[in-house]
Structure 1
Amino acid sequence: MKTLAEVDELADRAHAGQVDKAGVPYVAHVRAVAAGLEPFGPHLAMAGLLHDVIEDTGWTAERLRAAGIPARVVALVEAVTHHPGTAYEEKLRRIAEDPDATLVKIADNAHNSRADRAAALPPAQRERLAAKYRAARAVLWPAADPGDIATILRVVNPGLLRELTTR
């Protein structure tokens, strides 16, 4: 089995040269997602590191398995990967059926929702994405334990903790 450090190296290589919407190296995003998932064990942290690798790089599920990534981690990555032709709302409902995939997507959503990341975007894009991420939380958060959500938010986006306590 791969170690968390080895999976981090794989994610770093897979996302080499990619930047996020704010121009920050993309690997910083997947590392932030993984950090929020570390309290739940190495498989979830690995899934956080790899959550975008199938969607955004040349890696496939088969290649991940061949590289020694545990089957459960690959299954989680596949669960949160967008498939062309699938509506975003349908993707979220499917994710919410798997408790671990739900936590991965909650961590991803929390990092994508950070005010400091959104500040680098044009106002119209920032507002559109904020609405999308709020709608996603309305599906994902009821499918997860509030204590688990809080654990993720404390690491990834403490600014969302107020929203969690008022829901």
Structure 2
Amino acid sequence: MKTLAEVDALAARAHAGQTDKIGVPYVEHVRAVAAGLAPLGPHLAMAGLLHDVIEDTDWTAERLRAAGIPDRVVEIVEAVTNRPGTTYEEKIRQITRDRDATLVKIADNAHNSRADRAAALPPDRRERLAAKYRAARELLWAAADPEDVTTILRVVNPGLLEERTP
């Protein structure tokens, strides 16, 4: 089995040269997602590191398995990967059927929702994405253990803790 450090190196190689929507090296996003998941176990942290690798690189599920990535980690990555013809809301609903995929998507959503990251976007895009991510959080948080959500948010985006209902 791959170590977390080996999976981090794989993610760094896979996303080499890519930047996110605000121009930051893409690997920083997947590392932030993984950091929020690390307290919940190494498989979730690995899935956080790899959550966009099938969607945004030439890596496939088969190639991940051949590289020694555990089957469960690959399953989680597949569960959060966009599929043509599936709306974003339907994707989120499908993700909520899998506890671990839900937690990965919560961490992804939390990092994408950080105020410091959103501030770098044009106002119209910032508002559109904020509404999209807020709607997704309603579904995702309802499907997850509240303690797990809090654990993730404390690391990835503490500002969202205020949004949580008691």
- Tell me, yes or no, whether TM beats 0.5: yes
Aligned to 2:128: 128
| TM-score between both structures, scaled by the size of structure 2 | 0.99
**Cα distance, 1:79 vs. partner?**
0.2
Aligned: 1:137 with 2:137:
yes
**Cα distance, 1:92 vs. partner?**
0.5
| Gaps in structure 2 of 5+ consecutive residues | none
> Structure 1 counterpart of 2:24, which letter?
V
> Structure 2 counterpart of 1:151, which letter?
T
Q: State the alpha-carbon separation in 1 of the partners of residues 89 and 130 from structure 2.
A: 15
> Structure 1 counterpart of 2:89, which letter?
E
Aligned: 1:102 with 2:121:
no
Number of residue pairs matched by the alignment: 166
Q: State the alpha-carbon separation in 1 of the partners of residues 125 and 90 from structure 2.
A: 22
Q: State the alpha-carbon separation in 2 of the partners of residues 32 and 123 from structure 1.
A: 24
> Structure 2 counterpart of 1:99, which letter?
R
Matches within 5 A, 1:22-101: 22-101=22-101
Q: State the alpha-carbon separation in 2 of the partners of residues 88 and 125 from structure 1.
A: 16
> Structure 1 counterpart of 2:160, which letter?
L
Query: C-alpha deviations, 1:70-91, integer Å up to 9, x for none?
Result: 0000000000000011111111
| TM-score between both structures, scaled by the size of structure 1 | 0.98
SS in 2 for 1:19: coil
Query: C-alpha deviations, 1:12-34, integer Å up to 9, x for none?
Result: 00000000011000000000000
Q: State the alpha-carbon separation in 2 of the partners of residues 118 and 162 from structure 1.
A: 17
Q: State the alpha-carbon separation in 1 of the partners of residues 83 and 24 from structure 2.
A: 25
Aligned: 1:16 with 2:16:
yes
- Identical pairs, percent: 82
**Cα distance, 1:59 vs. partner?**
0.3
Q: Which runs of 4+ in 1 moved over 3 A?
A: none
Q: State the alpha-carbon separation in 1 of the partners of residues 65 and 148 from structure 2.
A: 28
